[in-house]
Amino acid sequence: MKRLKEKWNITTNWQLTVIFIVFAITGSTAAKIAGPVTEAVGISNNLAWYIYWPIRILMVFPLYQVFLVFFGWLFGEFQFFWNFEKKMIRSMRLGFLLKDDN
């Protein structure tokens, strides 16, 4: 845990616990919402699995990103998760989507 706290620049175990809770809630929420969203846009699981699941996973990804920042804000860790998102976006070579250079 010490290495993770140093890597993420976190000072307390409580803050680390809150961050883990946010990750858990975000993942569960994005996975749960992906089903209704895919059906709402007309993609049902009647498609072949090799078509349906990649589409569903691609839909979960942006939901996860939005929920991560939202739940981070809700739990008082907005700055951590906003920085985490920016770092992830840059690592995927999508940095052009960010307005600022920070």
Angle between helices 49-74 and 78-91 (to 10 degrees): 140
Give residue 101's pLDDT: 55
Domain locations in the chain as residue ranges? 17-97
Q: What is the mean pLDDT of the chain?
A: 88
Burial class (CB in 10 A: 0-12, 13-18, 19+), 30: buried
- Give the ranges where the chain is alpha helix by DSSP (H): 2-7, 13-40, 49-74, 78-91
pLDDT tens, position by position, 22-39: 999 999 999 899 888 888
Burial class (CB in 10 A: 0-12, 13-18, 19+), 93: exposed
Query: Is-above-0.85 flag for pTM?
Result: no
Query: At a CB cut-off of 8 Å and minimum separation 6, what does 56 contact?
Result: 34, 35, 38, 43
